[in-house]
Structure 1
Amino acid sequence: MSDSPCESVPSTSETRSKRTQLEDGSDSLSVIKKAVVVLTRLPEYKISALRPPTPQQFYSEDESLSSSDSDMQWEPEGGSSDSDFSVSNNKQKTGKPTKSDTTRASAPQTSGNNNNNVAEPGPVIISSAFAHCSHETTKIRPNLPEEEVKVDMMVLARKRHMRWQRGKIVEIVTREDGRLKYKVSFEEKGKSLVSGHHIAFDTTPKLEQLYVGARLVVGCQDNKFRFWPAILAELPSRKNRLRFLVFLDDHIPVYVGLPLLHLVCRPLEDVLDDIPESPHKFFMKQYLKDWPYPHLTQYRAGQILNAELNGVQQRCEVQVVDCSLIQVVFQDNQHKEWIHRGSTRLEHMARFLELKGVEEHEADSD
């Protein structure tokens, strides 16, 4: 079959003509059939399948806008010809939440390198339905019975803000106002009296207990005695290669497996109340508000950009793109780390959110 958008279909209709002839003294009946060709218009998806694939279709999911199902883009003025990225597909797939808004704004022009002083183009920023199934996008705490917390139970308890340790509950104290406190004796040394939102189960949670926004404690893969408080940011899906994304309370993003996660026993109604006032708390508030349409910049390995380090915007280069994260190396000191592609540490994203806030404020004023 050719690449034509039409195909021939044999007709089931037949034109019949009867002839009665006398041959050798007997009657015979012959049928004359006429072939009819019917042209049928193929649907668009079949036409597309017949065309040669374009290079964009072979990009990995974290680099290609065609596989991200984006419905909101932000790119430099003047079109995509000045950018490292091109928008090739804005279709929504069946079964996903849809969002109709489209936002474009001017990208901040970063300073060029010392050799040619050419400004770096800003990236496309997308906001897309992040998963294919409703259970992958949920940020509502499931209505499940609370697990019992009792004396002699092994737990993970808060010792300092970014340091949790394994210990045993040795006493449960009821305060005059009815609140419960838990006295924990740590494995290493020391005791502490903590609230229910400062202890976590030592066991691995079930998948149905987890949701975006869940308060967690995350174990260190290289040190079984280190634990950090965190908030769950992504459930396993095709887009993140079936991993959990968590944000530690110091804004560090990490992809982890289920065995490293521990649910906080009695989380606060608003889990963000457990995070000190900081740019990270502001970021998490915006992130959970936008979910499942998180704003993400689109970068590629080798791209130069500005990112905040020690309170100052500094030049760095993208080393690796891993789903929602990029690994960058800073040019001044060769410091290497992972940054979320929606982090306000990225100059492009900070500028985008600033312009978005101005637009929303103007819209509210009108």
Structure 2
Amino acid sequence: MEVDEMEARIPELQESDKRVENKKKRDEERDDDENMSDFPCKSVPSTKETPSKDTQLKDGSDLLNVLKRAVVVLTRLPEYKISALRPPTPQQFYSEDDSLSSSDSDMQWEPEDDSMPERAPVIISSAFAHCSNETTKIRPNLPEEEVKVDMVVLARKRSMRWQRGKILDIVTREDGRLKYKVSFEEKGKSLVSGHHLAFDTTPKLEQLYVGARVVVKCQDNKFRFRPGVLAELPSRKNRLRFLVYLDDHMPVYVGLPLFHLVCRPLEDVVDDIPDGPHKSFMRQYLKDWPYPHLTQYRAGQSLNVELHGAQQRCEVQLIDCSLMQVVFQDNQHKEWIHRGSMRLEHMARFLEMKGAEEHKNDSD
């Protein structure tokens, strides 16, 4: 009798177990659905095969355990690392902004304390050029161009005044030196040496070097030219221009068509410069190249500059690479000064101390 009762209750127990199991499954499905609603992805790419509910639940729980939210962290690299990663740019494509943002721009050398405008400027002598052909001060080993009769040339008429003319005759002196008889376009004739003649044609780039003897066309008179020495070749630091130091100590940035090469320059071009402070300065400048000394000023800063034989107060108006424009307080006279000029009070003292130190070392 008891056995019969147990057999009768077995279906009821099985049915109860099924209800409990189904309830457990429904609870698990509800929990999984709630968990999936919190997951950031709203859809999952479908596949060709349709997985069973058990497989879906199992895979969904695995995804919740494995997948994590992606986080992007941005880190700013230092400027030197950015520069190292940046590919080299051909010089002819450098822009003016690139030039001003170079590592040797004037902004990086400005005094940090605005309340101290009177303090002495920094004087640097860092390498000026970027590649070997910019640093050279050796005359290229090229064949000399022929100078002949009826050739149009630029010739010296006075110390700081050269003019265009034509060669009438070539005279050989007893010591073998050649002299050239020139008839000037504006009138007059002169017998000059080869280092007082310049080609009327535009020079070629391969002929140019720091220390080359040149003549530059005057801005106020296109028929007159002034002698000087090439002091900088085009580079990123000077916005791809030529710097010429005229024999009167005036520096000018010029383009290639505005200056001409002297036909037969002296072995030492400084010997052709009139005696005076500028001659000594140019000798020191060429000796120091490619490490010229430059003072670091900023617009608005006051300083003393030599004018008419005396130091006078002036203010910096503009900075243009190796040059700066100053205005004198007394007469409002404006002019461009090289930042390494010995007319600057601080540079004059620096060069004086340097010369004394070199003299002492030589005597020792």
TM over 0.5: yes
Choose the corresponding residue for 1:220, options 218, 221, 238: 218
DSSP 3-state at the match of 1:128:
coil
What's the counterpart of residue 252 of structure 1?
A: 250
1:360 corresponds in structure 2 to: 358
What's the CA shift for 1:48? 5.6
Opposite residue 227 of structure 1, the aligned amino acid is F
- Does 1:173 pair with 2:171? yes
Instruction: Identify the match of residue 285 of structure 1 among 283, 286, 291.
Output: 283
Secondary structure of 1:131's counterpart equals coil
Q: How far apart, in 2, do the equivalents of 1:321 and 1:283 lie?
A: 21
Residue of structure 2 equivalent to 1:315: 313
Alignment of 1:266-345 (within 5 A): 266-345=264-343
CA distance in structure 1 between the aligned counterparts of 2:118 and 2:301, rounded to whole angstroms: 9
CA RMSD of aligned residues (A): 3.2
Q: CA deviation at 1:67?
A: 1.3
In structure 2, distance between residues paired with 1:355 and 1:140: 28
- Is the 2:99–2:239 Cα contact (8 Å) retained in structure 1? no
* Partner Cα separation in structure 1 for residue 123 and residue 222 of structure 2: 37
Contact (CA 8 Å) 1:62, 1:324: kept in 2 or not? no
SS at match of 2:278: helix
2:325 & 2:307 partners in 1: Cα distance?
14
Q: Secondary structure at the match of 2:148?
A: coil
- Structure 2 residue runs of 5 or longer lacking an equivalent are 1-65, 67-74, 84-96
SS at match of 1:204: coil
The alpha carbon displacement at 1:223 in A equals 2.4
Superposition misfits of 4+ residues, deviation over 4 angstroms: 44-50, 60-64, 80-84
Given that 2:117 and 2:301 are in contact with CA atoms closer than 8 Å, whether structure 1 keeps it comes out as no
Letter of the 1:122 counterpart: A
Map of 1:184 onto structure 2: 182
State how far apart, in whole Å, the 2-side matches of 1:345 and 1:276 are: 17
2: CA distance, partners of 1:47 / 1:217: 41
**Which of 348, 351, 355 matches 2:349?**
351
Superposed CA deviations along residues 88-136 of structure 1, whole A, max 9, x for unmatched, are xxxxxxxxxxxxxxxxxxxxxxxxxxxxxx8811111110111111111
Contact 2:154-2:165 at 8 Å conserved across structures: yes
Q: Secondary structure at the match of 1:200?
A: strand
SS in 2 for 1:360: helix
Greater helix share, structure number: 2
Identity of aligned residues (%): 80
For 2:146 and 2:319, locate their aligned partners in 1 and report how far apart those are by CA, in whole Å.
41
Report what 1:148 is aligned to.
146
**Aligned partners of 2:167, 2:117: CA distance in 1, in Å?**
58
Length, aligned pairs only = 284
Output the CA distance in 2 between the equivalents of 1:182 and 1:310: 37
The verdict on how the C-alpha distance between 1:83 and 1:213 changes in structure 2, with shifts beyond 3 A counting, is farther
Partner of 1:67: 103
TM-score, length-normalised on structure 2? 0.71
Task: Report the 3-state secondary structure (helix = DSSP H, G, I; strand = E; otherwise coil) of the residue aligned with 1:155.
Answer: strand
Structure 1 pair 119/326, CA: closer, same or farther in 2 (3 Å)?
closer
Shift of 1:316: 0.3
CA distance 1:169–1:333, change in 2 (3 Å): same
Distance, in Å, in 1 between the alignment partners of 2:196 and 2:205 is: 22
Give the AA of the match of 1:244. Answer: F
Q: Choose between structure 1 and 2: higher strand proportion.
A: 1
Q: Structure 1 unaligned runs (5+)?
A: 1-33, 35-41, 51-59, 85-117
| Higher radius of gyration, 1 or 2 | 2
Letter in 2 for 1:123: P
Structure 1 residue 353: Cα displacement:
1.2
Shift of 1:63: 7.9
